[in-house]
Structure 1
Amino acid sequence: MNILTVIQARRGSSRLPDKVSLPLAGQPLLVRMVQRVQRATLAGQIVVATTTDAADDALATLCEAHNIDVFRGSPTDLLDRHYQAALAFGPVDAVVKIPSDCPLIDPAVIDRVLGYYIDTAGQFDFVGNLHPATYPDGNDVEVMPLGALATAWREAHRPLEREHTTPFFWENPGHFRLANVAWETGLDYSMSHRFTIDYREDYEFIKAVFDALYPANPAFGLDDILTLLKQRPDIYALNASLAGVNWYRNHLDELKTVAADQTKAI
């Protein structure tokens, strides 16, 4: 099976500008994240999908300097960017969507979601771990066969469906065969533990985790982070006030499958 893992990235974040270039253990955040994704044995070919905006020229140059495949597409239509990346790097059987704001993503989580998709080959049009979410926020993995992605690309019209790539799938359970992979612990940390980056507090948290774990263990995983947070509640507190904040909060009136308790206002 030909898997293409797409990491969507851009420099123009309004909340934390150029967050993907912030330093982590001596390298830009995006480079450290790609390295973590590369540790997933099932991720296949990995490409950073950035925009055609001139502001992202530097991001494309960064990727090329680190031998990271890069694709440049629509600044606002992420569904189109993912689909066009799949066509450009074909032949592709399935596309994996991972946002660049997940620099602490555990490669084992990527493999667990992809392993489920591969083991059930042909049974599902969409496999993810976000509906409902159970892992700590920032372990986002969504997998779509190319044919299903093409259907969404043709038929999705609402702005949020184009901007966020996958809502057309999980908002239409009668149209697509959907599967969700829950955290095998049976726990739900999705609203209590925030490993993603949108705000300065998130960067301070992620930097503290890298500073504590990376030097001794560059392959640190989810269990290592959770153990650290139990030992260092001061690190957990750095962005704890933002736990549960996500983009759903701005679209609750449009989303049919997301409840108010799955997001939080800032």
Structure 2
Amino acid sequence: MAVKIVIVVQARMSSSRLPGKVLMPILSETLLHRMIGRLQMIKHEAQIVIATSEEKSDDVIEQEAIKINVPCYRGSLNNLLDRHYQAARQFEADIVLKIPSDCPLIDPRIIDQVLDFYFAEEGKYDFVGNLHPATFPDGNDVEIMTMACLEKALKEATRPLELEHTTPYIWENPEKFRIANIAWDTGLDYSMSHRFTIDYEADYQFINNVFEELYPAKPNFSCDDILKLLDEKPEIYQINAKYAGVNWYRNHLNELKTISAEQTKLTFG
């Protein structure tokens, strides 16, 4: 029997630092549309679901999902773990991928790499990701979990950060789950030096520049293509360089036992 893969993309309008970022324009389409296009390039057959909240402000997310012909699940605003689980259950997932909506430059080849590992070792792991520890350029976030793993996390997680960020309960409790991590096969670690995700206006300008440079000639451009572009045009790298290494960990170092201060940037400017 075929394994049903569901990719859940959490998206909302009420971002605290850059409200409405997922609907900002990239080459005449929304950032969310461009990101879904990247996900649709993976070689594995998967159901993509946009998971947003029931807040009225997120009606536009549902409208965008309808426009781009991707199913939309609406659930809790703040309990993203529950929203993730309910979306996966509604679409009868066997395994669930968490791909954040702030990763429009994600390389579909990296998603396939993590999926290939999971299926090569099928039944051996509850959770496979590429973030613990991270080595890929920030914005290539892939986390795979079985439905049983996700359900166990939903039943047992209680801390606000576990509910808000969906997967911390899993990777913070390796004694409860069978976990594997995929490292970047270059042997390099660009997780703190290269930022391909969006949380600030400078990130949007960076992403827009990358799409304008690469997309017209090669819509399925790779992580390597981006790095080559940044070598050729270092001024693009500099657009959001000051935010490289900035992530949500910095606000929870006293709560996370598997994350060290070296895995986040505490100040920027």
Deviation per CA, 1:228-251, whole angstroms, max 9, x where unpaired? Answer: 000000000000000000000000
Aligned counterparts, 1:140-151, within 5 A: 140-151=141-152
Q: Does 1:259 align with 2:260?
A: yes
Q: Does 1:136 align with 2:134?
A: no
Conservation of the 8 A alpha-carbon contact between 1:43 and 1:114: no
Deviation per CA, 1:171-203, whole angstroms, max 9, x where unpaired? Answer: 001111110000011110000000000000000
* Aligned twin of 1:38: 40
Deviation per CA, 1:63-122, whole angstroms, max 9, x where unpaired? Answer: 1011111111111001000100011111x2100000000000000000001111111111
* Aligned twin of 1:163: 164
Instruction: Give the alignment partner of residue 23 of structure 1, picking from 14, 25, 30.
Output: 25
Query: How far apart are the structure 2 equivalents of 1:196 and 1:174?
Result: 31
Q: Does 1:70 align with 2:76?
A: no
* Aligned twin of 2:242: 241
Conservation of the 8 A alpha-carbon contact between 1:79 and 1:163: yes
Query: How far apart are the structure 2 equivalents of 1:198 and 1:169?
Result: 24
Q: Secondary structure at the match of 2:83?
A: helix
- Greater mean alpha carbon deviation, residues 139-148 or residues 114-123: 114-123
Q: Which amino acid aligns with 1:6?
A: V
Conservation of the 8 A alpha-carbon contact between 1:37 and 1:43: no
Query: How far apart are the structure 1 equivalents of 2:220 and 2:152?
Result: 37
* Aligned twin of 2:109: 108
Query: How far apart are the structure 2 equivalents of 1:59 and 1:165?
Result: 20
* Aligned twin of 1:195: 196
1:216 Cα deviation (Å)? 1.0
Deviation per CA, 1:140-198, whole angstroms, max 9, x where unpaired? Answer: 00000001110000001111001000001110011111100000111100000000000
Conservation of the 8 A alpha-carbon contact between 1:73 and 1:81: yes
Conservation of the 8 A alpha-carbon contact between 1:43 and 1:110: no
Q: TM-score, normalised to structure 1's length?
A: 0.98
Query: How far apart are the structure 1 equivalents of 2:119 and 2:151?
Result: 19
- Greater mean alpha carbon deviation, residues 40-49 or residues 2-11: 40-49
Conservation of the 8 A alpha-carbon contact between 1:5 and 1:43: no
Query: How far apart are the structure 2 equivalents of 1:194 and 1:152?
Result: 29
1:14 Cα deviation (Å)? 1.2
1:43 Cα deviation (Å)? 5.3
* Aligned twin of 1:51: 53
Query: How far apart are the structure 1 equivalents of 2:29 and 2:255?
Result: 39
Query: How far apart are the structure 1 equivalents of 2:71 and 2:132?
Result: 29
Q: Which amino acid aligns with 1:180?
A: N
* Aligned twin of 2:10: 8
Stretches (4+) displaced over 6 A: none
Query: How far apart are the structure 2 equivalents of 1:170 and 1:219?
Result: 31
Aligned residues: 265
Query: How far apart are the structure 1 equivalents of 2:261 and 2:209?
Result: 31
What 5-or-longer segments of structure 1 have no aligned partner?
none
Query: How far apart are the structure 1 equivalents of 2:45 and 2:78?
Result: 25
**Identical aligned residues as a percent:** 59
Q: Which amino acid aligns with 1:109?
A: I
RMSD value, Cα: 0.7
Q: Which amino acid aligns with 2:225?
A: D
Q: Which amino acid aligns with 1:24?
A: I
